[in-house]
Amino acid sequence: MNALTPNRLEAPAPVGLLAELTHRCPLRCPYCSNPLELDRRSGELDTAAWQRVLKEAAGLGVLHVHLSGGEPTARNDIVEITKTCADLGLYSNLITSGVGGALAKLQALYDVGLDHVQLSVQGVDAQNAERIGGLKNAQPQKFEFAAKVVELGLPLTLNSVIHRGNIHEVAGFIDLAVKMGAKRLEVAHTQYYGWAYVNRAALMPDKAQVDESIRIVEAARERLKGQLVIDLVVPDYYAKYPKACAGGWGRKLLNVTPQGKVLPCHAAETIPGLEFWNVNDHSLGEIWRDSPAFTAYRGTDWMKEPCRSCDRREKDWGGCRCQALALAGDAAATDPACSLSPLHAKVRALAVEEAAENPPDYVYRTIGSNVRSPFKEEVHS
C-alpha cells in the first residue's frame, strides 16, 4: 500500500447526506434518478427515526443535508425534520419541485431555519415543461414558489435537467434563472440511471446540440459574472473523462432511502450482490465505516486496468460504478464514459445512434409500475 493507494477501509468524514424522505411526488419526470421500484408511503421512516439519523449524521461530521425525494414537502413532518437540521447546525437544502403543497409550507420552513432551496424546472415553455414533468399547471406554481423563496431572502438555485426534449431551451433557462432572481443555475445534462436509463433513447441529444448548449453556458457565465453562477454537468456518453460519481464511492456522501437503507449513491441498488445496511439496524457511523456496500468500492484497491495505473484514479475514482455495471456488466470495470475504457467507442456510437432516431414516448415515473430496466443493448454483449 503506498500513498497513492489509500486503504479501502479508511473512511474519510462524509460531507453530505441525501435524505430521500419519500418517493411520493406530484411530478412524473422520465429522467428521475430514483429506482424503478419506488418505496411506498407505508414503509417510510417515521419522524423520530429521521431525527436520529440526522443527529448521527451531525456526529459523523456531515455538514449539508439535502432534503429530497420524491417531493420532500409531501411529508407532513417536513417542517419538524428541517427544524432538527437547524438545531443540529446542519445546512439544509430543500430539493423540491415547488408544486403540490410546497408553497403552503415554505414560510414555516423558513421560520424554522431552512438554509437553501433548489427548485427543479423541466422546461421554459410551460406546455413543454408540463409534458416533460407529466403534470398540468405545474409551471405557474413553480413561478409562484420561486417568487416566495426570493421574497423570503432564501438563496435559490434552479435545477434544469437537460435532454433532447428541452436542450433547445438552454438560453431560456438562463434567462429564466435571472428573471426569477436565482443565485445559481444547474444546467445538468441527464445522467442515465433509474428512469433515465429506461428512457435513454427518448432523452439522448445529439453531439451538435450538446456542443451548442455548452457554448451558450460558457458565454452566459462570462456575461453574468457576479450575478448568476452556472454549473454545467456534461453528458457522460459524450465526455472524455467521467465525473467522480457521488464525489467518489464512500468518500463524501450518504444516501438514505425512504425506508432507511443507506446507499453510497442513489443507484447503488442496481448493483447485484451488494449488501445495504438499514438505519433501523445499525448506526450511521457503523454503516459508513463498515457496511459491505460502502467498503466495496472505497479507495482504489478494487480497481482494474486501465484505472488501476491511471493518474486520474484519485480524481474521478474510476467514474460511476452503476454505469460500469449497466454498460460493461461489471461494477468494478472502468466507467465506459471514460475515453480510456475499451468500451467507450461503443457507448459513444450507441448515443449517436439513439439521438439520430425518432424519440420514443416517455415512460413516466410511477409508483407501483412494472417497468424493468431494459439492459437491452449492454455494450459488453
Instruction: List interacting residues with ligand FES (CB under 6 A).
Output: 193, 245-246, 265, 267-268, 320-323
Contact criterion met (CB below 8 Å) for 34 and 266: yes
Q: Is 299 in the site for ligand SF4 (CB under 6 A)?
A: no
Q: Which range, of 80-88, 120-128, 284-292, 330-338, touches ligand SF4 by CB under 6 A?
A: 330-338
Q: How far is the CB of 134 from ligand FES (least distance, A)?
A: 23
List the single partner that 342 binds among ligand FES, ligand SF4, none, CB under 5 to 8 Å by kind. Answer: none
Smaller CB distance to ligand SF4: residue 129 or 320? 320
Q: In terms of C-beta distances under 8 Å and separation of at least 24 residues, what long-range contacts does 42-47 make, across chains too?
A: 43/258, 43/259, 44/75, 44/258, 44/259, 45/256, 45/258, 45/259, 45/260, 45/279, 45/280, 47/77, 47/80, 47/81
Write out the binding residues for ligand SF4, residues 188-247 only, by CB under 6 A: 241-242
CB of 313 to ligand SF4, least distance (A): 4
Stretch that binds ligand SF4, among 183-191, 222-230, 304-312, 353-361 (CB under 6 A): 304-312
Residue in 171, 113, 110, 170 with CA at minimum distance from that of residue 145: 110
Nearer to ligand SF4 by Cβ, of 95 and 310: the residue is 310
* 85 marked among binding-site residues: no
Q: Which is nearer to ligand SF4, 187 or 310 (CB)?
A: 310
Min separation Cβ 336 and ligand SF4, Å: 9
Select the residue interacting with ligand SF4 from 39, 56, 269, 316 (CB under 6 A): 316
Q: Is 320 annotated as a binding residue?
A: no
Q: Which residue has the cell 429506461?
A: 198
Q: Which of 312, 346, 352, 363 binds ligand SF4 (CB under 6 A)?
A: 312
Nearest-angstrom CA–CA distance, 342 and 329: 13
Question: Which residue from 340, 352, 363, 371 is in contact with ligand SF4, where contact means CB under 6 A?
Answer: 340
Smaller CB separation from ligand SF4, 147 or 340: 340
Burial status of residue 368 (CB atoms within 10 A of its CB: 0-12, 13-18, 19 or more): exposed
Q: Which is nearer to ligand FES, 180 or 245 (CB)?
A: 245
C-alpha cell at 19: 435524505
How many residues line the site for ligand SF4 (CB under 6 A)? 14
In the list ligand FES, ligand SF4, none, the entry touching 343 (Cβ below 5 to 8 angstroms by class) is none
**Given the complex with ligand FES, which of 193 and 195 has the nearer CB atom?**
193
Residues 288 and 211: beta-carbon distance below 8 Å: no
In the list ligand FES, ligand SF4, none, the entry touching 277 (Cβ below 5 to 8 angstroms by class) is none
Q: Which does 193 bind (CB under 5 to 8 A by kind): ligand FES, ligand SF4, none?
A: ligand FES
d(CA 45, CA 138): 28
Angle at 239 between CA 15 and CA 305, to 5 degrees: 75
Q: Is 29 annotated as a binding residue?
A: yes
Site membership for ligand SF4, residue 335 (CB under 6 A): yes
Residues within the annotated binding site?
A: 25, 29, 32
Residues within the annotated binding site for [4Fe-4S] cluster?
A: 25, 29, 32
The contact set with ligand SF4 (CB under 6 A) reads 241-242, 306-307, 310, 312-313, 316, 318-319, 334-335, 338, 340
